[in-house]
Amino acid sequence: MLTIERSTGARTCDGVTRRDVLRIGTLTAFGISLPSWLELEAKSGVKEERATSCILLWMNGGPSHIDSFDPKPDAPAAIRGEFKTIPTTQPGIHFTEHLPRLARRLDKFSMLRSVTSPENGHERATHDLLSGYRFTPALSYPAYGSVVVRELGDRGDMPGYVLLGGYPFGYGGAGYMGAQYNPFQVADDPNRGNFRVRDVALPNGLTMDRMERRRTLLEAVDTFQRRVEASDVSTMTAFYEKAYSLLSSPAAKRAFDLSAEPLSLRDRYGRTRFGQQCLLARRLVEAGVRFITIDMPGWDTHENNFPSHVRLLSSVDASYSALLDDLESRGLLDSTLVIWMGEFGRTPKVNPAAGRDHWARAMCVGIGGGPIQRGIVLGATDANAETPTERPITVPDLAATIYKALGIDFTKEYLTPQNRPIRINYDGVPVEELF
C-alpha cells in the first residue's frame, strides 16, 4: 500500500497573513534586525506560504538508502546488511539503528523513499540532483542555490548563496547563468580552532583605509576599461563589491563567528566538520543567506560499507537532528527548507569487498521546513530496496518540489548566452502530498 504517515502536530495560524505583516514596511529603518524580525514573525502566528531560506545537506558520494532510512530487515543477509532497525515516531516506520535521534524527530521532517534517477555515475548524477537537469556536455545547468539567489535576491551584505566545503564533483555553481550567481565558498573547517573565512577577515597588513583606496582605484580602472574596450567586467566588479561588503560588514563577521555560540550547543551539533558546518548554516540563515549547501564527503563506500556508515550516520544523526531542533526553537523552521540527499543510493546486494556500489534506481531524500508537511514517509521500494514500487519520484519532480516550497515559478524561462530559452525546470511535477 502507499506509505504516507503524518504527524499529529499540525501547525496553526491565528488568521494573520504574511502579506498583512509585510505591510508594516521596511522594519530595518526602525532598527529591527533580521533575526529580531524572524522572531517577531514566528511569535505572530504567521504560517509561511513559502520558505525564504534553504539548507541543503549534501551527502557526497551517495549514501546507502537500505542502511539509513529504508532498511529491509526481512531481506536476505546479503541484502539487509549488518545493521538492526529501530522504530520511529510513526507507527510501522523504521530507520536504521544508527539514526536514533532522527527516528525520534520524524515530526520535524518528512522522508521520500522512492526517489529514482537514471544517472549512475558520480559526476552526471551530481549534476542531475543539484540542478534537476540531466547532464549534457553542451550546457551546464545552474544549481538550485544559484536559481534561488537570482529569483529571490540577496539580503543585506550577506551573499545569497553559500557553499560550505568543496564543489561536489565540480558542480553546484551557476552554470550557463554566469559566475555572478556562483556560491560564496567557505572551504575551511569550522571545527578548527583557527577557522577563518576569506573575504570576511582582512589579510595581514591590510587596513580598511587601504581597502577603500584599492576599491576606488578598481572603480576608476573599470570605468576606463569599459570606455576603451567593449569587454564586460561586470562580473569581476560584482565579486569585488561583494567581498568589500563582507569585509566592511559587522553583521557578516558576526555571522561567521562560531565562538559566539554556547559550548553546550556546539557539542550538541557535534565537534566534527559537518556538525559545525550545520551550526554555521543556522547562523547564516539568521543573517539573511538564502541558500546554504553543506558538502559532506565520504559516502562512496565500495569497500567496508558498514564501519564507514556507522561513523557517517552517527555524525548525520547528531548534526541533522540538532539543526532541526535549533531552527524550530528559534522560530526559523517554518521559513527554512532543510533537505538531506546525495547523488544516488547504494546497491542492495553487498559486494565481495563488504561494500555497496552505485545504485540510482532508488534513493532516499529527507525534506522539511517551510511549507512542507512534516511526519510524512512517502513512497516505497520493493522487498530488496531495488526499485520504487509506490509513488516513484523523479529528479525533475524533486526539483519542482524544492522550487515550489521556495515560492519560485519553476516554469519560468531563462536565456542562455546563445539566447536559447531554458525553463528553470523542464518537466517536473511537485510532490503535492508534501504541501
pLDDT tops 90 at residue 33: no
Query: Which cell is 385 given?
Result: 530496496
pLDDT of amino acid 17: 38
How does the average pLDDT of the chain come out, rounded? Answer: 86
pLDDT classification of 277: cutoffs 50, 70, 90: very high
Q: Which amino acid is at 377?
A: V
pLDDT, tens digit (0-9, with 9 covering 90-100), for 95-115: 999 999 999 999 999 999 999
pLDDT, tens digit (0-9, with 9 covering 90-100), for 46-64: 445 899 999 999 999 999 9
pLDDT of amino acid 15: 37
pLDDT of amino acid 247: 62
The size of the chain, in residues, is 435
pLDDT tops 70 at residue 338: yes
Distance CA 231, CA 63 (A): 45
Q: What is the CATH number of domain 18-196+260-434?
A: 3.40.720.10
**Strand 345-346 to strand 85-87: parallel, antiparallel, or no bridges (unpaired)?**
unpaired
Q: In 10 A of CB 322, how many CB atoms?
A: 22
What mean pLDDT do residues 59-81 have?
98
Residue with cell 524533486: 398
pLDDT classification of 246: cutoffs 50, 70, 90: low
- Phi then psi for residue 247, to 5 deg, are -65, -35
Q: Which residues pair with 112 in a beta bridge?
A: 365, 378
pLDDT classification of 220: cutoffs 50, 70, 90: low
Which CA distances in Å does 406 have to 151, 313, 337, 411, 414? Answer: 10, 28, 8, 14, 18
Q: Among 98-112, 142-156, 247-261, 290-304, which stretch is predicted with the lowest mean pLDDT?
A: 247-261
First to last CA, the chain: 21
Environment class of 286 (CB within 10 Å of its CB; exposed 0-12, middle 13-18, buried 19+): buried
pLDDT tops 90 at residue 219: no
**Structure pTM?**
0.83
Domain ranges of the chain: 18-196+260-434, 198-255
Residue with cell 555497496: 356
* 38 Cβ neighbours under 8 A, 6+ residues apart: 286, 330, 331, 332, 335
pLDDT tops 70 at residue 211: no
- Decide: 41 and 35 in contact? Cβ < 8 Å: no
- Phi then psi for residue 324, to 5 deg, are -60, -45
Alpha helices in 25-163 (DSSP H): 34-43, 77-80, 100-103, 122-131, 144-152
Distance CA 413, CA 323 (A): 34
pLDDT of amino acid 92: 96
pLDDT classification of 4: cutoffs 50, 70, 90: low
pLDDT classification of 198: cutoffs 50, 70, 90: confident
pLDDT tops 60 at residue 400: yes
Environment class of 401 (CB within 10 Å of its CB; exposed 0-12, middle 13-18, buried 19+): buried
pLDDT classification of 226: cutoffs 50, 70, 90: low
Distance CA 333, CA 329 (A): 8
pLDDT classification of 11: cutoffs 50, 70, 90: very low
Query: Which cell is 361 given?
Result: 534506481
Q: Among 251-255, 391-395, 414-418, 423-427, which stretch is predicted with the lowest mean pLDDT?
A: 251-255
pLDDT classification of 30: cutoffs 50, 70, 90: very low
pLDDT of amino acid 197: 87
pLDDT, tens digit (0-9, with 9 covering 90-100), for 146-180: 999 999 999 988 999 999 999 999 999 999 999 99
